[in-house]
Amino acid sequence: MRFYTRQHRHYCGVDLHARSMYVCILDAEGAVLVSKNIPASPEPFLELIAPYREDLAVAAECMFTWYWLADLCEREGIVFVLGHALYMRAIHGGKAKNDRIDAHKISALLRGGMMPQAYVYPRAMRATRDLMRRRNHLMRKRAELLVHIQNTNSQYNLPAFGARIAKPHLRREAASHFPEAAVRKSVELDVSLIDHYDRQLPELERYMESSAHGHDPVALALVRTVPGLGEILGLSIVYEIERIERFPRVQDFLSYDRLVKPTKESAG
């Protein structure tokens, strides 16, 4: 876990939502200068922080609406720190919780050098990475449908399918395997959805292959040398890494990949 430890004159904590944002600004001594709820829009935010722009750092928790705030701060030359949602226990573990308290805690964590950092993924590659994540999500949904057919077969203790139902021409008769009409209807629905995924996913993958140009071609070539990794999985891995230089050590990269078992110890 990395903490943001730079010192500033002003610290701005933002409890960010889709349509509103609660802003708390502290000075270097920890005194509250601003505590206000405003619309989640660039103009009100810039107007509110205008008197405190000198040596200001802004922090927000990593949730689904942070893109526009990070891009705004980058454009305005303001330091932006993205808080790692899983590690911000001070916010989620308090007895009382509301937007005002959360914004103050974010600014206090930032001021105290205890803000756990998440990576601010660059804007130029963000949309393509998100599309690849969407593709992975849809692939998992397709796999769940295939598993549901197999589990339904086991649920009714029927003989195993004679072939791999993942193949289109072999799953057409999967529904006829079930004697009860309601069960057949459920399996027919699964097969119909799988067929739809099979029409959409190849088109999506072709688009990804043709539009993904922001990555490092050398990194992609190296990833492709791993047995079993094709074009799409290779692109997904490279876009998640973004640039290997952001990991100071091999250990940091392995920890990011969750390939290191962390030590949890107390009193030996």
Q: CA 262 to CA 259: how far, in whole Å?
A: 9
222 CB-side CA count, 13 A: 9
Same domain, 151 and 193: yes
Same domain, 95 and 188: no
Same domain, 82 and 159: no
Q: CA 266 to CA 264: how far, in whole Å?
A: 7
**More confident call, 263 vs 113:** 113
pLDDT digits (tens, 9 = 90+) for 47-104: 999 999 999 999 999 999 999 999 999 999 999 999 999 888 877 777 888 999 999 9
Same domain, 156 and 232: yes
Same domain, 82 and 47: yes
Asked if residues 189 and 171 have their Cβ atoms less than 8 Å apart, the reply is: no
> Residue 248: inside a domain, yes or no?
yes
Same domain, 160 and 204: yes
Length of the chain, in residues: 268
15 beta partners: 22
Query: What local confidence, expressed as pLDDT, does residue 163 receive?
Result: 75
Among residues 96, 116, 136, the one where a domain terminates is 116
Computed on alpha carbons and rounded to an integer, the radius of gyration of the chain in Å comes to 25
Residue 45 belongs to a domain with what CATH number? 3.30.420.40
Query: What local confidence, expressed as pLDDT, does residue 94 receive?
Result: 77
pLDDT digits (tens, 9 = 90+) for 96-146: 889 999 999 999 999 999 999 999 999 999 999 999 999 999 999 999 999
Domain count, the chain: 2
Same domain, 13 and 96: yes
pLDDT digits (tens, 9 = 90+) for 212-249: 888 888 888 899 899 998 889 999 999 999 999 999 99
39 beta partners: 20
Among residues 87, 116, 145, the one where a domain terminates is 116
Same domain, 90 and 129: no
> Residue 200: inside a domain, yes or no?
yes
> Residue 265: inside a domain, yes or no?
no
Same domain, 215 and 187: yes
Asked if residues 32 and 26 have their Cβ atoms less than 8 Å apart, the reply is: yes
Same domain, 112 and 198: no
Q: CA 20 to CA 22: how far, in whole Å?
A: 7
> Residue 261: inside a domain, yes or no?
no
Q: CA 14 to CA 37: how far, in whole Å?
A: 10
CB atoms under 10 Å from CB of 164, counted, come to: 9
> Residue 264: inside a domain, yes or no?
no
At 187, phi and psi to the nearest 5? -70, -35
Tokens of 263: 């030590």
Asked if residues 81 and 111 have their Cβ atoms less than 8 Å apart, the reply is: no
Same domain, 84 and 169: no
Q: CA 231 to CA 218: how far, in whole Å?
A: 14
**Full domain range(s) for residue 71:** 3-116
Same domain, 111 and 127: no
**More confident call, 114 vs 171:** 114
